[in-house]
Structure 1
Amino acid sequence: MPDTNVTAEAETYDFVLVGAGSASCLIVSRLSQQLPHHKILVLEAGEHIQNDPNVQTPGLSFSLQSNPTYDWNYITLPEQGLNGRRVKHPRGKLVGGTSAINSHSVVFPNFEWHDRIAEELLTDSGRAEWNSQSMRDCYKRWQVVTSGPEVKDDVGSLDHVKTSYPRALDVLQSRWTKAFEELGHATSTTGFMESSTGAVTITNAIDSTKGERSHAGTAFMEPALKRGNVTLKTGVKVDKISFHESLTAGGKLTAKGVYYTHQGGYHLINARDIILCAGVFESPAILERSGIGSRKVLEAANVPVLYELPGVGENLQDHLNCSLSCETEDDIPTCDEELRNPEMQKASLREYGQSRTGRLAEGPAHSFAFTSLQMLETPSETQELIEMVKHLVEKESNPSLKTQYAIIRKTIESPSEATATTFMIRSQRHRDRDSMPKGTPAFVDGNFVTVVAMLAHPFSRGSSHISSDPSQQPEIKFNYLSHPLDVEVMARHMRLIERLFQKPTFAAISKPNGKRLPRSHPYPISSLEDAKKILPINSATNYHPCGTCAMMREDLGGVVDERLRVYGTKNVKVCDASVLPIVPRGNILTAVYAFAEKVVEIICKEAGPGSRTG
């Protein structure tokens, strides 16, 4: 939109945060306490949806996705590696962002991931700030566990997300940990720590005292709004950042505010510092509309180039997963019957409404495992993969990719680190409906247990950029399975699941000659070629996009430095999933919260002695 007919608002804010998602809500909470005399404005394109039972009820999370009231409904361009499928990527359309519509699971990165990012991707000045020891408190501060052995009575004055363990483990959840114990891989803790392989029972972002979802909007934004120095504007679409014409003495752009649309009007609001928290698709789009990004992309969109930064919108990654299901013995309880039976679904709603208990009071997945391929591969199979990885990493000519791939290579070579985060679902799962005849039922008869392998650190990279019409949603492409090592590692994890099914614990709960899923391959995997054929038709996203404004050195294609400040600017930061340079193992929300905690530390140091800790 041209800079004409602009309403210039007189007030100047100390901080303007663009977006009220997971990271933003935490940042606002902490800054409202630690910098009480600073004025903070949050601009959110969605709405502040409060006391909505669809959001509050844990078991209704999947009903929020694809619902335009709660979800921005992003979708990729056709993905060649998935037989041309377009993949939906739900993103939360409300205060709290995607933490308000996700499926609750709380999974932490490992020390090695942080240490390698700090050592290999940052400058000398950032390494100490971002290594695992410096990040430990950041991973602790954002949550408090409300059930299980880690319950804390004294949680201090900071706001927290509330997490909890399942109220009781059912048969399958108990057998999950036993299955890995019989392999000699038992783990007992779930937090941010050094890697070890084995099964864990994780928490979910659910307040067990209420049986309700706990998300960034309720945990962080709502308390912050009561402190008097925070203003929240919803229904606001930020167009771009406004910069002063003159550069700093160091040649940097200085932001003076942001342009946004609200109720048909075009506005400019002034700010001393701007923090983009608009998410993995929108944060790079705002930078591009502001004139920061790849010259090729900006010129195609007719945007003047203010600072050429080719990494903006690049480096897009996601956790792709694939699963196998086997039919269980009739006396093993699963969730399948309720999926098929509307009357049982109504009964669950009644139980939840009366007592906040039952299936709807829990998240779908508490049973996870950190799995290395060495767990069930022969030494010769592992060595074959290691040699393949070595050859392809050394062959890579792009400096950024070569550095990132070298980090992933270390994970693959380590028997104690996860090449996939594996989890169990107590029901059937199949993603191959597009490859089945029209009219194929959504569910099959029988009760199933499903094991899902989520590729921990993919090699494939995609992009998210504004189109020739910058007012439209970004053009998103992940290029799933475009790198041959992703195909190789994922196929090997399918074989690992098959071998797990043959071990005593799973063999004891599986129906002899029972059904197998996916439906397009209804029999055990007998070879890697079998597994590779399944990947394009049965793989799905785990909804963990990241990397488009990566925290890396600028010469490696980074967009923000170790202070999360956009290169070429003096006072613009980014903090959301887009800054994660390499996707961590497992669900990424814990890392997003921890990075938000770290940027608050950075901001308060920059603010000087007038700030205070919570």
Structure 2
Amino acid sequence: MSSSADDLYDFILVGAGSASCLITSRLSQQLPDHRILVLEAGEHIRNDPKVQTPGLAHTLQSNPIYDWQYSTGLEPGLNERSIKHPRGKLVGGTSAINSHSIVFPNYEWHDRLAKGLLTDAGVNDWSSEGMKECYARWQDENSQTKANHDEESPDRVQTSFPRSIDFLQSQWMRVFEDFGHTAVATGFTESSVGPVMVTNAIDASKGERSHAGTAFLEPALKRGNVTLRTGVKVDKIVFDKVLTGGKLNATGVRYTHQGEEHFISGREIVLCAGVFESPLILERSGVGSKEVLAAADVPVLYELPGVGENLQDHLNCSLSFETHDDVPTRDNVYRDPEVQKAALLEYEQSRTGRLSEGAAYSFAFTPLQMLETQSETQQLTEMVRHLVEETSSPSLQAQYAFIQKTSENPHEATATTFMLRTQRNRDTDSLPKGTPSIVPGNYVTVVAMLAHPFSRGSCHISSDLSIGPVINFNYLSHPLDTEILARHLRLIERLFQQPTFLAMAKPGGRRLPRSFPHPISSLEDAKKILPINSATNYHPCGTCSMMKEELRGVVDERLKVYGTNNIRVCDASVLPIIPRGNILTAVYAFAEKAAEIICRETKASCQSD
């Protein structure tokens, strides 16, 4: 094993994903005299048209050049399907392969997190008031007319609205107006109900994807105090044999590069390896559940049973209706290769057209009370209260009480709902072999994404350390997820009966999913659809949760791993309860707060020395 006595870094960041790139940027600016090392298992892929072109995002997922291609075990709640979970295999992480939409958490989520799951010491940092600047700092909204944008703000992700609002996007706003809900504010705000036009992580001045690698790490690498090493697989954290202050003290990390083992020394380790890999690195290092470590023959250095637990994801389900032939959906791209060629040519010539934009801008924050009767709402409220009271685990009791407040508040979304201007087929596995993946016609699809699921899963090392993580989400394992998501399918059906959508629907037109090609007439209809037509929104989080240790948390309010002096975690794994909407906004904001805390503590330590 090779090592160098001179190779001592102040900070070693494991992973070069969304959070790591941002933290590196901030540390390189604010701590210019400190040496920073970033270790990335993937590669630094620059100037790749597939990454840069917004409309080609779908070609990156499942492509082994760009995607680690994780998948779950067989999920009983989803008809024993194994669910793919793409994660970015390049600098920038999943922000470099995702589908761009920018949806923010709400104030209430942060306030409940800070006051209900953390000690009093964390309230100021993690409440909505303490996080406002963090949500504002990482992004910069822009338009295609803004010039030299990179020079003006090189350390922010560029976000933008669509260049123009098309027919279906305007109709999305109108369908909510049909029953009294006007557009609500985007961004990090208090909860509100209704439709919202969101931005996408696209630099409109270039018509290109804006991700963490380009926005944060590229500028940081030019400052002289940051070193990036790619193709590096971190095996474990190495600790002093003697405890310091009764806690483990990390001396560095052991990693493999091109088949050779290396050791690198660091004063502080920040794990940013992602929701699936950060817990595995802790477990391989001897921090985790004694049962999991014993099965893998790893000595327990600090027992922390929450490592790898509390795994959550946004499950979604959709309904589609066929529109009149003259409604301008985007289904023609599936049917006509010439449409695809024309779109690519337009993009190459002018960076305009459908390939210059993301797939989804039309969202809505939808509590069930929006279209439920009072008796329907009361029935669910009583069911939630009963099942939460039955919960025996202190950790789940705290989390479920958090979600219960959301479900009872008519101003908070129990699902984030969004519109796709095309058909969506997620039930192919349940249909006869050879069934075409695309159906004829033009479609509007509305998707309900369960805001705060009750189901919990896990991600752990295998007893065979040479294979990847063992991932199980246990989708729909908690009965309330089925109850709430089924009710949101019923809400979508009621949306379809509003005048705006009815005017677009083709008389006698097809309905999707094909496995249930009829309007939903009962809650039982909706429940039957869930196992065969539900899908992930690719928002895994929670495996190194920031919670009190007695609640099975893994990191404290300073993002320090319990039982250690100098290891932090910051990526999607630290989100203790999944926020509404797409989680990337929260990951960036948590990274801003992590950098803020690290800089504050480092500067205080330097002054005391």
Normalising TM by the smaller chain, what interval?
over 0.9
The correspondence for 2:40, drawn from 28, 40, 44, is 44
1:18 aligned partner, one-letter code: V
The correspondence for 1:82, drawn from 74, 78, 84, is 78
Q: For 1:231-246, what aligned pairs fall within 5 Å after superposition?
A: 231-246=227-242
- Shift in Å, 1:593: 0.2
TM-score (norm 1): 0.97
Show the counterpart of 1:292. Answer: 287
Match of 2:80, SS state, is coil
Show the counterpart of 1:570. Answer: 565
- Shift in Å, 1:114: 0.2
Alpha carbons 1:372, 1:416 under 8 Å: kept: yes
Match of 2:102, SS state, is coil
2:326 aligned partner, one-letter code: D
| CA–CA distance in structure 1, aligned partners of residues 427 and 121 of structure 2 | 48
- Shift in Å, 1:471: 2.5
Q: For 1:149-228, what aligned pairs fall within 5 Å after superposition?
A: 159-228=155-224
Q: For 1:285-324, what aligned pairs fall within 5 Å after superposition?
A: 285-324=280-319
| CA–CA distance in structure 1, aligned partners of residues 324 and 362 of structure 2 | 20
Residues 205-214 or 469-478, more deviating = 469-478
Q: Structure 1 stretches (4+) deviating beyond 3 angstroms?
A: 5-10, 148-158, 609-612
- Shift in Å, 1:266: 0.3
Deviations 1:24-47 (A, max 9, x none): 000000100000000000000000
Unaligned stretches of 5+ residues in structure 1: none
| CA–CA distance in structure 2, aligned partners of residues 560 and 151 of structure 1 | 42
* Aligned residues between the structures: 607
| CA–CA distance in structure 2, aligned partners of residues 599 and 158 of structure 1 | 20
Residues 318-327 or 181-190, more deviating = 181-190
Identity %: 71
Match of 2:158, SS state, is strand
Alpha carbons 2:145, 2:205 under 8 Å: kept: no
Show the counterpart of 2:340. Answer: 345
The correspondence for 1:500, drawn from 487, 495, 501, is 495
Given the alignment of the two structures, is residue 390 of structure 1 paired with residue 390 of structure 2, yes or no? no
| CA–CA distance in structure 2, aligned partners of residues 173 and 152 of structure 1 | 30
| CA–CA distance in structure 2, aligned partners of residues 355 and 450 of structure 1 | 29
Show the counterpart of 2:269. Answer: 274
The correspondence for 1:490, drawn from 459, 467, 485, is 485
Match of 1:24, SS state, is helix
Alpha carbons 1:7, 1:266 under 8 Å: kept: no
Given the alignment of the two structures, is residue 557 of structure 1 paired with residue 557 of structure 2, yes or no? no
Deviations 1:367-401 (A, max 9, x none): 00000000000000000000000000000001100
Show the counterpart of 2:401. Answer: 406
Root-mean-square deviation over aligned CA pairs: 1.7
- Shift in Å, 1:149: 12
Given the alignment of the two structures, is residue 31 of structure 1 paired with residue 27 of structure 2, yes or no? yes
2:398 aligned partner, one-letter code: T
Match of 1:287, SS state, is helix
- Shift in Å, 1:491: 0.2
| CA–CA distance in structure 2, aligned partners of residues 148 and 265 of structure 1 | 47
| CA–CA distance in structure 1, aligned partners of residues 391 and 234 of structure 2 | 38
1:80 aligned partner, one-letter code: P
Match of 1:569, SS state, is coil
- Shift in Å, 1:183: 1.7
1:490 aligned partner, one-letter code: L
| CA–CA distance in structure 1, aligned partners of residues 149 and 249 of structure 2 | 45
- Shift in Å, 1:346: 1.1
Q: Flag the 1:499–1:331 CA change in 2: closer, same or farther, 3 A.
A: same
Match of 2:200, SS state, is coil
The correspondence for 1:437, drawn from 423, 432, 439, is 432
Match of 1:116, SS state, is helix
Match of 2:506, SS state, is coil
Match of 1:77, SS state, is strand
Match of 2:317, SS state, is strand
- Shift in Å, 1:270: 0.1
Alpha carbons 2:139, 2:157 under 8 Å: kept: yes
The correspondence for 2:462, drawn from 462, 467, 481, is 467
Deviations 1:182-210 (A, max 9, x none): 22222332100100010000000000000
Alpha carbons 1:8, 1:267 under 8 Å: kept: no
| CA–CA distance in structure 2, aligned partners of residues 611 and 450 of structure 1 | 56
Alpha carbons 2:346, 2:352 under 8 Å: kept: yes
Q: Flag the 1:157–1:33 CA change in 2: closer, same or farther, 3 A.
A: farther
2:125 aligned partner, one-letter code: E
Show the counterpart of 2:133. Answer: 137
Alpha carbons 2:312, 2:456 under 8 Å: kept: yes
Match of 2:82, SS state, is coil
1:223 aligned partner, one-letter code: P
Given the alignment of the two structures, is residue 331 of structure 1 paired with residue 323 of structure 2, yes or no? no
Show the counterpart of 1:115. Answer: 111
1:478 aligned partner, one-letter code: F
| CA–CA distance in structure 1, aligned partners of residues 412 and 148 of structure 2 | 30
Q: Flag the 1:157–1:339 CA change in 2: closer, same or farther, 3 A.
A: closer
Deviations 1:134-154 (A, max 9, x none): 000000000000129999999
Alpha carbons 2:32, 2:225 under 8 Å: kept: yes
Given the alignment of the two structures, is residue 104 of structure 1 paired with residue 115 of structure 2, yes or no? no
| CA–CA distance in structure 1, aligned partners of residues 229 and 152 of structure 2 | 29
Show the counterpart of 1:594. Answer: 589
| CA–CA distance in structure 2, aligned partners of residues 151 and 536 of structure 1 | 48
TM-score (norm 2): 0.98
Q: For 1:15-30, what aligned pairs fall within 5 Å after superposition?
A: 15-30=11-26
Alpha carbons 1:144, 1:155 under 8 Å: kept: no
| CA–CA distance in structure 1, aligned partners of residues 309 and 9 of structure 2 | 31
- Shift in Å, 1:344: 1.1
| CA–CA distance in structure 2, aligned partners of residues 67 and 119 of structure 1 | 42
Given the alignment of the two structures, is residue 355 of structure 1 paired with residue 350 of structure 2, yes or no? yes
- Shift in Å, 1:17: 0.1
Q: Flag the 1:157–1:565 CA change in 2: closer, same or farther, 3 A.
A: same
Alpha carbons 1:255, 1:570 under 8 Å: kept: yes
Match of 1:76, SS state, is strand
Match of 1:346, SS state, is helix
Match of 1:608, SS state, is helix
Match of 2:101, SS state, is coil
Show the counterpart of 1:252. Answer: 247
Alpha carbons 2:154, 2:216 under 8 Å: kept: no
| CA–CA distance in structure 2, aligned partners of residues 315 and 155 of structure 1 | 41
- Shift in Å, 1:347: 1.1
2:500 aligned partner, one-letter code: T
- Shift in Å, 1:181: 1.8
2:403 aligned partner, one-letter code: I
Deviations 1:256-287 (A, max 9, x none): 00000001110000000000000000000000
| CA–CA distance in structure 2, aligned partners of residues 308 and 399 of structure 1 | 18
- Shift in Å, 1:6: 4.8
Show the counterpart of 2:527. Answer: 532
- Shift in Å, 1:7: 3.9
The correspondence for 2:67, drawn from 55, 71, 83, is 71
Deviations 1:395-420 (A, max 9, x none): 00011001100000000000000000
